[in-house]
Structure formats: structure tokens, C-alpha cells
Copies of this chain bind each other. A is one copy, B any other.
Amino acid sequence: MTTDAAPGAAARRGRPGYDRDRLLAVVVQAFNDHGYEATSLGMLSERLGLSRSAIYHHFDSKEQMLEVALAQALDGLEAVFDEPEATTGPADARIRHVLRGAVLVLTAELPSVTLLLRLRGNTEVERAALARRRAIDGRLRALFERARDEGTLRPEVDPRLAERLTFGMVNSLVEWYRPDGRTSPEALADAVLAYVDAGLTAR
């Protein structure tokens, strides 16, 4: 549950009540509640019950907190596309794999993915994250183009639109999915896949 297990990380710990990951979780929640820009260090200090210098014990800046949180989301999504099931075999099976995987990353990393999806691109860190996000979108679009070439995308479906609409459906989960709700991540992935299949034909 914590990345602080790495050697040398102990120097970043030492404040009772918060390790780096738990502090970041509170920070990300504040960013999601108020927006990154509108969240001041004073607001974070109040939420955490920590002084500013105690916060700076863990992170160099508000921007670094954003960067680390966004990396959690982006690393998870990119990893799905690097899995063997996403890089070998028929394109329609790869599409099903990456969209199921995206649902599972989203439900597991809900706060950081929410933060990623709400970015406006007003800072360098945000723009770099948005560029990585666009590259992920591009990888899904390439799979839909491959499915078209292999004859498993329904001919009336535009690959780009298929990418936008299916990722859009997946991404919209951040608006309502709650980990303690009645729908499990796997059941959610099944439901999404039923809709995704509407754009694909049987092989």
C-alpha cells in the first residue's frame, strides 16, 4: 500500500499519522474537491492537520504532489497496454483486454484517475500528463484501426469515434463509481464490455 518501502524512503517518513502515500491520498482528494489550482497549501495544511513544513517534509511542492499522483494513474493505464494480451493476437481481443484493464485500473486508482481526467493543462506538469494521456488514447485508436483492417470492426463504425466513445464510457465511471458500492469492478467491466462489443463483429 505504500511506496515508502523503498530504500532511503525512511528519511521521507517520521511524521506520526502520515506516510507519503496516505498524505498524498488526502491531497488528491482536496485537488478533486476544489481543483488543483484552487487548492492552496493552507487548505492542505488544514485538511491534514499538519504544518506547511511538515508537508514539505514529504514533497518539494504542490506541483510535485500533482506529478506523483498523476504518475500513479498513467503508469497503471500504460501497463495495461504493455501486457502480452494487448500486444499480441487479434485486435478485437486486444481491445477487449485493454478496456477491461482500463476499468480495473480506474476502479483501483479512482482518485488519481479522477484527477487525471479533470486536468485543464494550465501548467507544465499538467500538459505533460495530458500528452501521456493522448498517447494512451492513440494506442486504443490504433487497435480499433487494426480491428478495421482485420475485419472485426463493424464497417459503419469509425475507429476514431469508437475509441472516443468507448474510452469516454470507461472514463465516465469516475463520476459515480464508489469502491464501497454494490457493483464490483469485474461486474462493471462486464457491463462496459457488453457495450464495447456492439462496435465489434464476431470473428
Residues of A at under 8 Å CB distance from B?
A: 32-35, 37-38, 117-118, 120, 122, 154, 156-158, 161, 164-169, 171-173, 175-176, 183, 188, 191-192, 194-195, 197-199
Q: Find chain B residues with CB under 8 A from A120 CB.
A: 32-35
How far, in Å, is A13 (CB) from chain B's closest CB? 32
A34–B156 CB distance below 8 A: no
* Pair A168/B169 contact, Cβ less than 8 Å: yes
Closest A-B pairs by Cβ, 9 of them: A168-B172, A198-B198, A35-B35, A38-B38, A37-B38, A169-B169, A161-B191, A195-B198, A172-B172
User: How many copies, total?
Assistant: 2
| B residues near A188, Cβ cutoff 8 Å | 161
Besides A161-B191, A165-B172, 4 more A-B contacts (Cβ < 8 Å) are: A118-B118, A158-B183, A168-B168, A168-B172
Q: How far is the CA of A176 from the CA of B133 in the complex (A)?
A: 13
Task: Chain B residues near A34: list those with CB within 8 A.
Answer: 35, 37, 120, 122
Q: Which residues of B contact A195 (CB under 8 A)?
A: 165-166, 169, 195, 198-199
Contact B157 A191 (CB under 8 A): yes
List the B residue with the shortest CB-CB distance to A173: B168
